[in-house]
Structure 1
Amino acid sequence: MDYLEDLLSEQIPTSEETEKLGEISSAIIREINDICRANNINASCTEVGSVSKNTNLKSSDIDIFITFDKAYPVDYIEKKGLEIGHRVLKNGTEKYAEHPYVSGYVKGIKVDIVPAFKINNGEKIVSTVDRTPLHTLYVNSNTNEAMIHDIRLLKVFMKRINVYGSEIARSGFSGYLCELLIIHFKNFDRLMKHMANLRGKLIVPEDAEDKFAEPVIIIDPVDPSRNAGAAVSEENLSRLKLASKIYISGRLDILNHTPSVNRERGTHIRVFVIKKPDIIDDIIYPQAVRLKNRIWDILHNNGFMPVASEIYMGNDIEILIECKLEKLPGTKVHMGPPVESNESIRFIDMWNGNPRLMRGPYILKNRVYVDVRTEQRDMEGIIRKELRNSDIGKNLNEFRDEIKIINGEDADLEVVRKFFSKYLFN
């Protein structure tokens, strides 16, 4: 526990940072409320997110929501939200989630100004962000000082085991989930004991109906029809289970273990590098996964025998795939139809006399086979040919022909470091 408390002490905001955040937030809220009053806009401003709940760690952002009356149409709140955001954040830039919003910096602190609709408990939402102010109210109404400490401790623990963050590339536990877990289990130790002994899904509350397909089911108290844990992957749930066992056993030294790395694997590693468009990661990452899966399928279908993969997104998208073969043999076995099939004679006629035929036709068990000459044997040529007409995502398609293919065994690339540093919680 001292180890985690030491980590937490390094990440709790100082009193100076807390005061600065409060001053910036209050000033922005006053300015936005003044703008709304002066322009007869039926809207109010509120702070949401971890800073508003005092559950934040160091270097947190400020999230300000402008909540508009539900009588306004969506296009009105989007337009006014951007206008007000730009007026308050002079050098702000527009970003896009469900609604466009303005993001910028005030005195070195990142600030997001987001439009939403004002709803009360039990009312139907117009957009998913409408729940967020209610989340803030719920957490503030159901936590005390000890629970806030344990929420921060849980965030530090989840960061240490690499399961913190709900963005698609992470598929982990959001700050709100950390808050809900401590509220439900009352403290950090009780949560750890539950997780260390958990079999199967994590369901909160435990008597909730198992009506969702996801491995983590945490019913949102603000909207009981919603699974707040839907983004968490089975792999990250498994990491939390194992880390909880490690915590309960007192073996936190395992978290700091540095595994040895042997790069002499007897395999062939290739890295496929493609330009990353200037679009938020939650949109691009699924397309990167799609590209990885397409390359994997090409390699598998052509006999290169892929065995492992990794993705890294920085300035570019880097996709690593490890294969057993880097060049195909000159001959490959081609399976024909069962001998009982009416297509068997046609298959024999098709291959008899074919210049690519190396052996056969012959019968193996109940099928006809031929051995044929491999037309293209090198990995790069096959990948480029088959990707040419592949749809790899609307934002990546234009860069499809610019993919660089790099021998990855000794390449100085982040995806290679990520691949070889793979350990329980990396």
Structure 2
Amino acid sequence: MSDADTDHDECDDGSNGSTEDGNDTDAFATVVSRVRDRVDPDDDERARLERVANQLLERAAAAATDRCADADAMQVGSSARGTWISGDRDIDIFVRFPPDLERETLERYGLEVGHAAVPDGHEEYAEHPYVKGEVEGFDVDIVPCYRLDSAIDIQSAVDRTPFHDQYLQARLDDELAADVRLTKGFMKGIGVYGSDLRTRGFSGYLTELLVCEYGGFRALLEAAVDWQPPIELDPESHGKPRETASPSRSEKAGDAGLPFDDPLVVIDPTDPDRNVAAVCSAENVARLQHYAREFLAEPTVEYFEPCYPDRLSKSQLRAHLERRATTPVALRFDAPDLVADQLYPQLYKSLSGISQGLDDRGFDVFRGTTFTDETAVIFVELAVAERPAVERHQGPPVHVQGHAKGFYDAYADDEDTYGPFLEGNRYVAERERTFTTARAFLESDRLFEVGLGAHVETALEDDYDVLVGEESIGLLEEFGTELRRYFEPRP
């Protein structure tokens, strides 16, 4: 799902446009009323979606039962639960097959049903293939899964979705559904909505769970202001023992001893082994807290309007570089042909590895980011871009005989080394530095010794450009908006 293309000259931080009556309750209600007019689908829009969804259900069910008598089809997701925002055009149909059907057969049947329901559709691949297409202006996914008695018995990740739908259908009334739409609009406006691995924000399912948990839009914002991460919510009180639960990530859990080591933990009501919020970054949890506090203090509709800044100009970029007196360096290469959820984790890993490699060589990474379009960029800002021709290497104390003698012998006859000599009770050597500039390191084969994403590494092996300092102006044509966000950051 792509953002709108509308640009604003500058992004409002929400501080303008407050109501004049000074009454917080009235101001909140006024803004909510205005926003509801935007986010709530009208009767005609609902009727169009219902008509198309019913047609798709009929086609999918007929095609499925032709192949397997025990199959069925159901509409899932926000369009099924009435939590979709006006203008959203997504319809998700899940085709359920009995659990004893072989996986290969399920995939084959699923694609056949998908093409029967959406004749002009094309095949895409997640955990298994499915059909995606457009019908009367609606984006449609036809996804096969297994019909199971419990989400704990899932055979693929998509098998959970029908359980999610059933759980929320039983709990969302019209008022809560309306508050979900408000919450989604707010999250889109502040940039935290979306569970894709580029955004690393709040999924639709997570948003609906949070609204149900707290009882509405305002109650959720008021609670978020007071969150003390890590936050743990357990809607169905599964009470899974902390010592036996598996962490969401590979790192060890923090001091809080939570079963999941994420900043926000919402245990899936249908599966106690899953954290629904595992993808949420700490930054996006903090971003929600920041804007919840700001909005409650001074409600305005601007918080529901995504920020699309103008491109940074050459003169503006030069001004930032002069003011900051830092040195940007960028690696630019052809973007690997991957979907965003595969590409961005590799870009983030590569950004981390390259930053560490620069730090280890004394170039002091100040901040960094990554972005992609036709090309991909690892962009790192350095506090130090050039180092002396020599570097210190501190050895062990002299009295640690074995290690000390080894250190001394390694450098004693090296004509390119100053020393070894003593500082206090330790040997020290000053040796020739391998790389005196960040560019030299980034253009060397040593770059490939840092942690890189597999496809990013392959792309770099093919070819890449290194841009240093004002050479980063060459990025403006493709990434002027991203560079404005970098050099003019906001929460």
Q: TM-score, normalised to structure 2's length?
A: 0.79
- Aligned equivalent of 2:181: 152
Measured in 1, the distance between the counterparts of 2:221 and 2:93 equals: 33
Question: Structure 2 counterpart of 1:394, which letter?
Answer: A
Question: Structure 2 counterpart of 1:113, which letter?
Answer: I
Q: Deviation digits for residues 291-349 of structure 1, max 9, x if unmatched?
A: 11121121111111112111223333222111112222222222223322323233333
Measured in 1, the distance between the counterparts of 2:465 and 2:272 equals: 47
For residue 179 of structure 1, report the CA deviation from its aligned partner. Answer: 1.0
Change (3 A) 1:86 1:157: same
- 1:330–1:374 CA contact under 8 A, matched in 2: yes
Question: Structure 2 counterpart of 1:44, which letter?
Answer: D
Question: What SS does structure 1 have at the residue aligned with 2:324?
Answer: coil
Aligned counterpart in structure 2 of residue 120 of structure 1, from 119, 124, 149: 149
For residue 253 of structure 1, report the CA deviation from its aligned partner. Answer: 9.0
Q: Deviation digits for residues 38-61 of structure 1, max 9, x if unmatched?
A: 334531111111111110112231
Aligned counterpart in structure 1 of residue 369 of structure 2, from 297, 310, 313: 310
- Aligned equivalent of 1:420: 487
Is 1:62 aligned with 2:122? no
Runs of 5+ unmatched residues, structure 1: none
Measured in 1, the distance between the counterparts of 2:216 and 2:207 equals: 11
- Aligned equivalent of 2:126: 97
Change (3 A) 1:355 1:254: farther
Is 1:269 aligned with 2:328? yes
Is 1:37 aligned with 2:85? no
- 1:246–1:254 CA contact under 8 A, matched in 2: no
The answer to which structure, 1 or 2, has the higher relative contact order (CA under 8 A, 6+ apart) is 2
Change (3 A) 1:309 1:10: same
For residue 189 of structure 1, report the CA deviation from its aligned partner. Answer: 1.7
- 1:271–1:320 CA contact under 8 A, matched in 2: yes
Alignment of 1:191-202 (within 5 A): 191-202=220-231
Q: Deviation digits for residues 114-141 of structure 1, max 9, x if unmatched?
A: 1110123466222221121121122222
- Aligned equivalent of 1:225: 273
Is 1:284 aligned with 2:335? no
Aligned counterpart in structure 1 of residue 219 of structure 2, from 175, 183, 190: 190
- Aligned equivalent of 2:22: none
Question: Structure 2 counterpart of 1:236, which letter?
Answer: N
Q: Deviation digits for residues 175-198 of structure 1, max 9, x if unmatched?
A: 111111111222212222222222
For residue 154 of structure 1, report the CA deviation from its aligned partner. Answer: 0.7
Measured in 2, the distance between the counterparts of 1:408 and 1:228 equals: 42
- Aligned equivalent of 1:47: 75
User: How many pairs align?
Assistant: 422
Alignment identity in percent?
27
Measured in 1, the distance between the counterparts of 2:320 and 2:439 equals: 26
Question: Structure 2 counterpart of 1:347, which letter?
Answer: F
Question: Structure 2 counterpart of 1:234, which letter?
Answer: A
For residue 248 of structure 1, report the CA deviation from its aligned partner. Answer: 2.7
Change (3 A) 1:346 1:149: same
Question: Structure 1 counterpart of 2:292, which letter?
Answer: S
Change (3 A) 1:26 1:254: closer
For residue 365 of structure 1, report the CA deviation from its aligned partner. Answer: 3.1
Q: TM-score, normalised to structure 1's length?
A: 0.90
- Aligned equivalent of 1:237: 285
Question: Structure 2 counterpart of 1:120, which letter?
Answer: D
Is 1:404 aligned with 2:404? no
Measured in 2, the distance between the counterparts of 1:348 and 1:333 equals: 14
Alignment of 1:340-351 (within 5 A): 340-341=399-400, 342-351=402-411
Alignment of 1:105-116 (within 5 A): 105-116=134-145
Question: What SS does structure 1 have at the residue aligned with 2:260?
Answer: coil
Question: Structure 2 counterpart of 1:272, which letter?
Answer: L
Measured in 2, the distance between the counterparts of 1:121 and 1:376 equals: 58
Question: Structure 1 counterpart of 2:327, which letter?
Answer: H
Measured in 2, the distance between the counterparts of 1:128 and 1:196 equals: 32
Runs of 5+ unmatched residues, structure 2: 1-27, 240-257, 310-315
- 2:353–2:451 CA contact under 8 A, matched in 1: no
Measured in 1, the distance between the counterparts of 2:141 and 2:406 equals: 66
Question: What SS does structure 2 have at the residue aligned with 1:173?
Answer: coil
Question: What SS does structure 2 have at the residue aligned with 1:139?
Answer: helix
Measured in 2, the distance between the counterparts of 1:318 and 1:104 equals: 31
For residue 219 of structure 1, report the CA deviation from its aligned partner. Answer: 2.4
Change (3 A) 1:114 1:312: same
Question: Structure 1 counterpart of 2:324, which letter?
Answer: R
Question: Structure 2 counterpart of 1:338, which letter?
Answer: P
